[in-house]
Amino acid sequence: MFVVIEGIEGSGKSTLLSGLGEWLRGRGQEPLLTFEPGGTPAARAIREIFLNRSIAIGPLTEAFLVNAARAEHVADEIRPALEARRTVVCDRFTDSTLAYQGYGRGVDLGVLRTLCETATGGLAPDLVFVVDVPVAVALSRVRTRAEAPDRIEAEGTDFHERVRRGFLELARTPRHRVLDGTLAPEPLLEEAIRELHERTSARVR
Ligand code: Z5A
């Protein structure tokens, strides 16, 4: 099963990812826990350029970079894990491109869908959790970090509001499940586990 966690930065995706990983391991599984942009050495190198604010790039280049990283990640990590029947849980995937480069930066959604489709070879998640939190809450969680803001973190509130709206619009499909990211980590994890459990049981019925 291929599970993706989406949401604006600071929504609690990474925290939920590790909670789900622990739960899956507790059930005797060996999940692949991964993230985008990243997951392979080449994808991590592309991530460095993508997030580095001192290298000026335009929105379309952002879209090409995240999809170049994704092509490597899917081919070398995600597909082999799924073929080995491992559960894959990924922090961000194609909806992030549509939300950030599309709703956030204004790149045409049709162009982005084609790029994503090409990079993934048509691989789509079975379940997408969208951890939804108000932008002010999310930013207050992450803006205490010591590191200088990266290319995306440096954007203003309006940008992050557009991205949040994008995620919620994209979430109107049966494949998506919106979670209330203002919940504390434990109840949020329980909600996600309940949903995952239901979907897994439905698949084996
Ligand atoms: N990007 C893109 O533009 N296009 C794409 O196609 C893709 C990505 C794939 C990668 O950033 C950037 O790439 C991202 C979008 C862009 N930039 N932004 N914005 P990243 O990988 O460096 O980081 P991130 O994905 O944005 O996530 P994050 O900042 O690490 O946040 P998070 O994973 O959602 O949250 P967290 O680390 O789990 O928690 C943040 C803090 O909140 C931490 O102190 C926690 O202890 C706390 N927390 C977590 N959960 C809770 C709850 N439930 N309640 C209260 N506090 C909580």
Q: What are the backbone angles phi and psi of residue 77, rounded to the nearest 5°?
A: -125, -55
Which tens digits make up the pLDDT trace of 40-83?
999 999 999 999 999 999 999 999 999 999 999 999 999 999 99
Cβ atoms of residues 178 and 12 within 8 Å: no
Residue 11 pLDDT class (50, 70, 90 cuts): very high
| Best of 142, 161, 163 for a ligand 1 pocket test (most atoms within 8 Å of beta carbon) | 142
Answer positive or negative: Cα dihedral of 92, 175, 170, 7: negative
C-beta of 132 in contact with ligand 1 (< 6 A): no
- Residue 157, classified by CB atoms within 10 Å of its CB into exposed (0-12), middle (13-18) or buried (19+), is exposed
Q: Please tell me the predicted confidence (pLDDT) of residue 205.
A: 61
- 114 vs 180: CA distance, rounded Å: 30
AA identity, residue 82: L
DSSP code, position 101: I
Average pLDDT over residues 96-113: 98
91 C-alpha vs ligand 1 centroid, how far in Å?
9
Supply angle C-alpha 151, 156, 162, rounded to 5.
100
- 57 vs 160: CA distance, rounded Å: 19
9 C-alpha vs ligand 1 centroid, how far in Å?
4
Contacts of 61 (CB under 8 A, 6+ apart): none
C-beta of 188 in contact with ligand 1 (< 6 A): yes
C-beta of 176 in contact with ligand 1 (< 6 A): no
Half-sphere exposure of residue 60: CA atoms within 13 angstroms, side-chain side:
4
Token look-up 């499909």 returns 173
C-beta of 144 in contact with ligand 1 (< 6 A): no
Q: Please tell me the predicted confidence (pLDDT) of residue 145.
A: 82
- Packing angle of the helix pair 185-204, 13-26 (nearest 10 deg): 50
C-beta of 37 in contact with ligand 1 (< 6 A): yes
Q: Which domains does the chain have, with CATH numbers?
A: 2-204 (3.40.50.300)
7 C-alpha vs ligand 1 centroid, how far in Å?
8
C-beta of 66 in contact with ligand 1 (< 6 A): yes
Mean pLDDT of the residues in the chain: 96
Which tens digits make up the pLDDT trace of 161-189?
999 999 999 999 999 999 999 999 999 99
Which tens digits make up the pLDDT trace of 131-140?
999 999 999 9
Q: Please tell me the predicted confidence (pLDDT) of residue 202.
A: 75
Nearest to 106 by CA among 150, 151, 62, 157: 62
Token look-up 């994503």 returns 116
